[in-house]
Chains A and B, each alone.
Chain A
């Protein structure tokens, strides 16, 4: 509705401008000593013909727009149209004012000048129409591009969220298989936990953000399962602050980081491993630090932080356009991964 209103006002402004132009044209002729009737008819006819030419071009260019290299076509069309305009103009004016010798002579003398002038006008109008169309196509393709980028980004985010390590799943199922023989009650409990965990993973695909409280609940399920798998070797400690409970973070972001810490910690040591998760609010950020011990001697061999962290990094970048939200550091034999989530 608003767009339509706007286009109406544009049409009114252009119409007024055209009328002024016709009036000016007529006034010039009048000042040459012709009477008003001749001046107005001459001006009107001339400009109406230019208007028709513009209308023809407007419709032609809708279907075919020469590329920048072929702009010479535009000029050729302008010449053809201008010749046609002058020809028709002269023919009609002769037909009306054949008896007015003075005007006929004037027409004859100024015909070349008129042609040059019409050509200039038509060329300018054509060029403007062409630019307008070009601008419109450009805008359309830009919109398409943004749309495509948005879709690709969403698909990538979806994939990054979906990442569940199949090894985790198969090893957990193997543990359940072992429990089913000796401790059926425990097996049933673990199936329940695994189901809840998987359901949480699937459900959260729909939304991008979730509260820390919910995420910690989900992470708890994961840690319970891992503790059954690794037995007494895996110890965890979560230090959290009441005020962070309702803070927002991307859903399912924590689990891959903790998984990475567990893998890194457990496969680098034969003893007990403590995974520590510290959560705090810091200005406008939710800060989560995940620590695992490692062996300083063999760590160079385990270079890199693995796929887990690079996908977290990528996700944070896609969501916040920032690369500084994930940091890792090693102090003595403790490896820490810190993420900072901006609170919007």
Chain B
């Protein structure tokens, strides 16, 4: 039995997927969710095999939801937005249904996934899809993180600096620290380079947080932040910083 979830904020859109699922006796619908928060809870609770996921939803988007899951299950996007469609198809992993879609199109997506699922490559496929969908082309203006059972939305303007930490990054704001499973280069690429600089292999700093740059030893500099934290600058980091600050 395949266990699945529907996450979509429009009730009629959910009922359509539900109706289309009725002919698939081997798929069991566990729950319908109206937003990302509910969706995340349901994913953690049920550990489904497959999710029908909308992108534009209240509070957090479908992409942001996937970022919060350690090992995302197989995803079939159902959305009226076709901006991401090309990237999803390039990934060849799972399907991308453009609303409104027909029963035939829906069935095709299911059978495509089932054949992949039998080859047990679906999980890898999902990760591949996510990698390809990483919004490198568009600027990020918020970061979604999970602390315990809570989901926090951090505007990028509140980030002081980001620190590398094994497989994770630590996101430092003025008062708190958040962990997120992402790479430094992901943030380096998706944050606005006018505001954020990769100052060191292990650090990305928000420029507006810097109060001064100090000479530590011979040819070794560090940046002093408003919060009083000192962050070392690598040689390339220092020259990058000089370039953006125009000194």
Proximity string of chain B (150-169) to chain A, C-beta cutoff 8 Å, 1 when within and 0 when not: 00011111100000000000
In whole angstroms, how far apart are the Cα atoms of A182 and B18 in the complex? 11
Task: List the B side residues contacting A182 at CB < 8 Å.
Answer: 15, 19
CB closest chain-A residue, reference B19: A181
Please determine whether A267 and B56 come into contact, CB atoms closer than 8 angstroms: yes
**B142: CB under 8 A from chain A?**
yes
Q: Which residue of A lies closest to B54 (CB)?
A: A171
Residues in A whose Cβ lies below 8 Å from that of B157? 300
**Chain A residues numbered 227-257 whose CB sits less than 8 Å from any CB in chain B:** 228-231
Q: Take A171-B99, A173-B99, A177-B100 as given contacts and tell me if A298 and B59 are in contact as well, using a CB distance cutoff of 8 Å.
A: yes
Contacts A177-B100, A303-B141; A171 near B10 (Cβ below 8 A): yes
In the bound complex, CA of A170 to CA of B98 (Å): 9
A175 and B80 CA atoms in complex are apart in Å by: 11
Q: Mark contacts of A154-187 with chain B using CB atoms, 8 A cut-off: 1 yes-contact digit, 0 otherwise.
A: 0000000000001100110111111101100000
Mask: chain B, 51-70; 1 = CB below 8 Å from A; 0 = not: 00000111100000000000
Among residues of B, the one whose C-beta sits closest to the C-beta of A303 is B141
Tally inter-chain residue pairs, CB-CB below 8 A: 81
In the complex, A266 has a CB within 8 A of chain B: yes
Could you tell me which residues of chain A, from 199 to 240, have a CB within 8 Å of some CB in chain B?
228-231
Inter-chain contacts of B38 with A (CB < 8 A):
270
Q: Is B188 positioned at the interface, with any CB of A under 8 Å from its CB? A: no
**Shortest distance in angstroms between A272's beta carbon and chain B's nearest beta carbon?**
11
Complex interface: chain A residues within 8 A of B156 (CB): 301
Chain B: interface residue total (CB-CB under 8 A): 30
A178 and B13 form a contact (CB under 8 A): yes
Mark each residue of chain B from 1 to 35: 1 if its CB lies under 8 Å from any CB of chain A, else 0: 00000000111110110010000000000000011
Chain A residues with CB under 8 Å of B154's CB are 301
Tell me how far the C-beta of A292 lies from the nearest C-beta in chain B, rounded to whole angstroms: 13
Q: Does A297 contact B (CB under 8 A)?
A: yes
What separation, in Å, do the CA atoms of A179 and B100 have in the docked complex?
A: 12
| B81 at interface by CB-CB < 8 Å | yes
Q: Complex Cα distance A268/B58, Å?
A: 5
Complex interface: chain B residues within 8 A of A302 (CB): 141-142
Given the interface pairs A167-B80, A297-B153, A303-B141, the reply to whether A173 lies near B12 with Cβ below 8 Å is: no
Q: How many A residues, CB 8 Å from partner?
A: 28
Q: Could you say which of A269, A270, A303 has the most chain B C-beta atoms within 10 Å of its C-beta?
A: A270
Which of chain A's residues has its CB closest to B78's CB?
A174
Complex-state Cα separation, A175 to B10, whole angstroms: 8
Chain B nearest CB, measured from A38 CB (Å)? 85
| Residue B187 CB within 8 A of the other chain | no
CB neighbours (8 Å) of B155 from chain A are 298, 300-301, 303
Does B142 lie within 8 Å of A298, measured CB to CB? yes
- Assembled-state Cα–Cα distance A179/B16 (Å): 8
Q: Are A270 and B19 within 8 A (Cβ)?
A: no
Quote the shortest CB–CB distance from A333 to chain B (angstroms): 15
| A174-B12, A179-B12, A298-B155 known; A270+B58 contact, CB < 8 A | yes
Are A174 and B34 in contact, CB atoms less than 8 angstroms apart? Answer: no
Known: A270-B35, A301-B141. A174 touches B16 (CB 8 A): yes
Contact of A170 among B34, B58, B100, B158 (CB under 8 A): B100
Q: Mark B34-52, 1 if CB is under 8 A from A, else 0.
A: 1101100000000000000
Give Cα A175 to B12, complex, Å.
Answer: 5
Given contacts A231-B10, A267-B57, A297-B153, 19 further A-B contacts (CB under 8 A): A167-B56, A171-B10, A173-B100, A174-B13, A174-B101, A178-B12, A178-B15, A178-B19, A182-B15, A182-B19, A229-B10, A230-B10, A268-B59, A270-B34, A270-B59, A298-B59, A298-B142, A300-B157, A303-B141
Closest 6 CB pairs of A and B: A301-B142, A178-B16, A170-B80, A174-B99, A174-B100, A301-B155
- B interface, CB within 8 angstroms of A: 9-13, 15-16, 19, 34-35, 37-38, 56-59, 80-81, 98-101, 141-142, 153-158
A-B contact pairs, 23 of them (CB 8 A): A167-B56, A171-B80, A174-B16, A174-B80, A175-B12, A176-B100, A178-B16, A179-B12, A230-B11, A231-B10, A231-B12, A266-B9, A266-B58, A267-B56, A268-B59, A269-B59, A270-B34, A270-B59, A298-B142, A300-B155, A300-B157, A301-B142, A303-B141
